[in-house]
Structure formats: structure tokens, C-alpha cells
Amino acid sequence: MKSHSVSSSSTPASEDSSEREREREREGEELRHKERGGLSGKKNKNKKKKSKKEDRRYCVVPLEVGHGIEMSSSSSGANITAAAASDRETLPFVTPSPNSTHHKKRHPPKASAQNHAVSYGLIVSLGIVAWTLEAPASLDASVWHLFIIFLGTIATILVGLPLVVASLSALCLAVVTGTLTTKVALSGFSSEVVWLVIFAFFIAKALEVTGLGRRCCFVALAMFGRSSLGLAYAVALAETILGSAIPSNTARGAGIVLPILKPLLTDALGSDPVTGTEKKVGSYLVLSAWHSNCVSSSMFLTGCGVCALMAKLAKSTANLDISWWVWFSGSCVPGGVCALIVPYLLYLIYPPQQKDTRTAQQVAGERLAELGPVKWQELLTGATFVLLVVMWIVGDLAGLCDATTTALVGVSVLLLSGVLSVKDVVHEHAAFGILLWFPPLLVMADALTKGGMFDLIGSQISQTAEGFALSWPVVLVLTCLCFYYSHYVFASLTAHAAALYATFLTVCISAGAPALPSALALAYLSPLSGCVTQFSSGPAPSYFALGYVPLSDWWRYGFVISLLHVGVYLTVGMAWWKVLGLY
């Protein structure tokens, strides 16, 4: 019985424990089931996300040449992606995905690429034909061949080949064909003008990283920022004042004006080619600032280096003494007219999208307050800037140091003080882009000048004028036109003047034109002719490299402004010189 009682009493206990174990096992299985369900749920969610990604309405396709998009040298992949995200339907490299039911698939246009191929083929074919022609008797065959390469380079740039590709390819072709030696071909990379532009970019970087450029631009905006036209006239006034003292158009434009203008556009006005807002204000202001630089360069004997060169050539060619006062007295009226008309004319034919900038003027005051007190880096950068201006004025006039040396001093001070870092310098891509495409053009233009190519052109013009027995006013007008527009094939103000000024002055005097007005007309038009291309003078690449103005617009509106310059100086200028008793 005992055994039975014990047995009967222990059986329920064991059953209870087994039931508890089974319950724990069921709970564990349920817990594991929930965990597996959670994981599978996450997987399902991920699958749904993937399917949503795959079923997006849009997808990004690779960029190809000729797809109808214009890129600045400062654009990057990250910026492109950001722009695509903000406005997918308007960008040519964003197309509907194949899975979309709301949009039709768009194919990238191929016509532009085909047109470029045809243009390149035509240029190469014409170049080969011209290469086989016999060179003029007074020219060496290598000079003739270089002239063909140079013209071909300009032609390929006009039809859309990138500047770096066109310039380096032309330099390579000149070396491979034996037209230039390697030593001569690479000599342009040591040009003082090239490095002055590059150093000016580095100095501008200091204004950017310290915030001094932003502070200055907000001050300027608060004072003159009621309208984009007012800002353009403020830049023109600054150029005119600086042009009277700084004997380098590159130092003045690329070293002083641009470092203030660039942050003014991007930070205060929100106009940046990277974000596709260059037409807002920037395109107009950059083009207006560039043409104002050309005008100020022509108004003073100290406006740019080529002015002093032409004064020396006038002395050696026609025994004319052109002092600082003679130069300015002849240019003050026609130059002043050009300085007043250029910003307004561009405002009419190349208008900004945002004309009223009073909102930005109000923001400028708020931003100045946010910047707080001036930091020591800003003070040091400002002091360096003042030092550079003084050295550019005194050093060049006194013959102590040239503009490039002065710029190098400024860059060294900024690096040694820690205001600029090596990383800042290395990442200034626009400067190194200029280093790749500007020197080859300078080398070819210089070699053509030394080879007598442009002397030949000048002599042909002189013979033609004598053959037609034209009156001196007609000869003067035609000579000025030929002199001005010949700058399309020059990459330097100095090379242009050195090659043609004396020859064209001789043509005018030989036809009976009064010597001093002829000398002044050609001298004033020389710096002004630098407006026609993006490689025609020292500061031109700096303005163009900002990416605000497309190449086609640069050439188109440069030609329009050139008509203004020639028209004003040959009408208002001649009348003013008559009042002065110069003839």
C-alpha cells in the first residue's frame, strides 16, 4: 500500500514538471518563431525597398559629349548628383527608368556629337590641304605650319573641343611634326604672365578661406546692392580707380576684383555655375567686370604693361613722346563714354535674371552681423592685400620688382603665416586648368611673332592701302579695324602690339594721317581688343575659368562690345582729339 501511495502521489508531481517543461519549450518555440518572423519581416521590408528602388520613376545615365549640357571646369560628380536630385526632369542626363509607366524613355541626342565629328573632320582636312601648300617666300616653312596649327586650334575650340584638350594636342602636334622644339614648346609654362594668373588665384583663395572676401562682398552689397546694374557700375568704378595706379591688368582684375566678386556671387547672391544658377546674376556681372577691366586698361599709360610698350614703339617709329598726361587726356572722354555704356549695354543684351537685389542687400546686413568681429587671419590677409597693391604700384613704376614677383611675395606670406595651407593651394583646380591650356597658346603666338608671320600680314595691308590710293581717314579706319580684329589670333596683348603696332602706325602715317592721333587710336584699341576672346590677355582666363559665361556667349558679346569700342574711339575720340588740337 505504501508503495502504491508513494507511486500514486509522485505521478502528479512528475506530470506537473513535465507539463511545465513542455510549456517552457512551447514558449521558447514561440519566441524563436517570433524572432524568425521578425527577421523575415525585415527581409521582406528590404525586398520592398529594393523593389521600390528598382521601380523608381527616374534613373541616372552616364554623361556623354554632346548631350546638351555645359559643364564648368569647377563642376564635380557630387554637385551633378545634387543638381539631379533637385530638378530631375529638367536635366538632360536624367531620364525615366524603363519601369516607369508615367514617362516615356528618352534617348540622349546624337546629333551634337555627329556635328562635332563632322566639324573636326573638316578642320583636319583643311589643315592637311593647307599644310601641303608652299609657304610664302618671306616665311620659313615651320612658321607657316605653326600658323596652320594655331588656326586649327582656334577653330576646334570654337566648335566645342575643351580648351585643355585643344591646346595640349596642338602643342603635341607642333613638337611631333618638328614645327617647334620641345624646349620652345614647354617654355610657355615658365611665362611670368601665366604664373601671375595662378598666383592671383592662390591669393583669391586666401580671401575665401579666411572669410575676408565674404565680409568685403557683403559690405559692397550693402552699399551698392540695390540692383545688379548698380553692382556692375561699382565694379567699373573700382576698375577705373585701380587702373590709374596698378600697371598690370592681370593683377588688378584677377588679383583684386575677382577675389571680391566671386564670393559676392556665390555667397551673397546665390549665383553659382555649380548649381546651375549662373544666369541669375553672375553671368552678367562677370562679363561686365571683364569688359570694365579692358576699358580701364586702355585709359591710362599705367593701365597695363602693353601701354608702356606702345609708347616706346611710338617714340621709335614716329618720334612721338606720349607721357602719362598725354595718354590720359586723349582717353578720358572716349574711355569714360565706354566705361559708362558697357555695363548698361550688357544689361540690355545680356540681362541678369535677377535685376532687383534689394533683398540680398538686406540679407547682407544680417550676414555681416553673423560674421562677428574681424579675425586675425582676416587682418593678416587684408594687410597682405594692401602690401600687394602698394608693391604693384611702386615696384613696377620704380623698376624694383614686376607684378609676378609681387604676387609670389604675397602667396609666400600667406603660406608662411598659415593663412593658406598646401591643401588649399593644391585644390585650386581652376588655376591648374589655366596652367595646362594657356601656355601652349602663348608659345604658338610668340613663335609666330618671332617668325615674322604678323609682319607679313602688316606689310600686305600696307601694300593694299597704297594700291587703292585711299584718303587718310579711310586708311586710319581700316587700319584700326584690321589692328583690332587681328587680336582673334593672338593670345597676348604684348605679342599683338609688338607684332603689329609699329607696322600699322607706319601704314597710317604713310597715307597722310596725323601721327599723334594715329598712334593714340591704335594704342587705345590694343588693350580694348583683348575683350574678344577668353585667351586674348592675361586676366581673361581668370574670368572665363569661373564658368559663369559659356564660350559662345563670351565670343558673341565680346564682338558686340568691340563694335562699341571701335565706334566710340573713331567718332567721339577723333572729335575730342580735334578739340585738344592734336590735329
Q: Are residues 125 and 86 in the same domain?
A: no
Q: Are residues 367 and 422 in the same domain?
A: yes
* 215 Cβ contact partners less than 8 Å away, ≥ 6 residues apart: 368, 371, 374, 378
Residue 467 lies in a domain: no
pLDDT for 29: 61
User: What total of structural domains would you count in the chain?
Assistant: 4
pLDDT for 18: 57
Residue 177 CB coordination number (10 Å): 13
pLDDT for 569: 96
Q: Show which of 375, 398, 427 is a domain's final residue.
A: 427
Q: Are residues 21 and 134 in the same domain?
A: no
Q: Are residues 143 and 210 in the same domain?
A: no
Q: Are residues 299 and 364 in the same domain?
A: yes
Q: Are residues 231 and 364 in the same domain?
A: yes
Q: What's the half-sphere exposure (Cβ side, CA atoms, 13 Å) at 5?
A: 2
Q: Are residues 205 and 239 in the same domain?
A: yes
Phi, then psi, of 192 in degrees rounded to 5: -65, -35
Dihedral angle over CA of 414, 420, 421, 427, nearest 10? -120
Q: Are residues 364 and 279 in the same domain?
A: yes
* 382 Cβ contact partners less than 8 Å away, ≥ 6 residues apart: 212
- HEC sequence for 542-571: HHHHCCCCCHHHHHHHHHHHHHHHHHHHHH
Q: Are residues 259 and 381 in the same domain?
A: yes
Quote the CA–CA distance of 217 and 268 in Å, as a whole number: 8
Residue whose C-alpha cell reads 592701302 in the numeric block? 465
Residue 215 CB coordination number (10 Å): 20
Residue 316 lies in a domain: no
CB 213 within 8 A of CB 207: yes
* 496 Cβ contact partners less than 8 Å away, ≥ 6 residues apart: 306, 486, 487, 490, 526, 529, 536
Q: Are residues 4 and 120 in the same domain?
A: no
For residue 227, what are the β-bridge partners?
356
Q: What's the half-sphere exposure (Cβ side, CA atoms, 13 Å) at 369?
A: 4
pLDDT for 203: 84
Burial class (CB in 10 A: 0-12, 13-18, 19+), 515: middle
* 278 Cβ contact partners less than 8 Å away, ≥ 6 residues apart: 72, 271, 272, 547, 548, 549
Largest CA distance in the chain: 154
CB 443 within 8 A of CB 491: no
15: containing domain: 1-34
pLDDT for 66: 33
Residue 376 lies in a domain: yes
CB 327 within 8 A of CB 573: no
CB 232 within 8 A of CB 346: yes
pLDDT for 67: 33
Cα torsion 342, 345, 350, 355: sign: positive
Q: Which amino acid is at 262?
A: K
Residue 347 lies in a domain: no
Phi, then psi, of 8 in degrees rounded to 5: -70, -30
Residue 421 lies in a domain: yes
Mean pLDDT of each 10-residue bin along the chain, 583 residues long: 42 52 62 50 46 38 33 35 34 34 43 73 92 89 93 82 89 95 92 82 83 77 83 88 74 82 83 89 93 93 82 85 87 95 96 84 78 89 86 70 84 93 88 86 85 78 73 90 90 80 86 92 95 87 90 93 96 94 88
CB 485 within 8 A of CB 529: yes
Q: Are residues 276 and 205 in the same domain?
A: yes
CB 429 within 8 A of CB 478: no
Q: Show which of 427, 442, 457 is a domain's final residue.
A: 427
pLDDT for 42: 46
For residue 356, what are the β-bridge partners?
227
Nearest partner of 500 among 508, 71, 557, judged by Cα: 508
Residue 466 lies in a domain: no
Residue 198 lies in a domain: yes
Q: Which amino acid is at 27?
A: E
Residue 319 lies in a domain: no
Q: Show which of 427, 454, 473 is a domain's final residue.
A: 427
Q: Are residues 174 and 203 in the same domain?
A: no
Phi, then psi, of 109 in degrees rounded to 5: -65, 140
Burial class (CB in 10 A: 0-12, 13-18, 19+), 295: buried
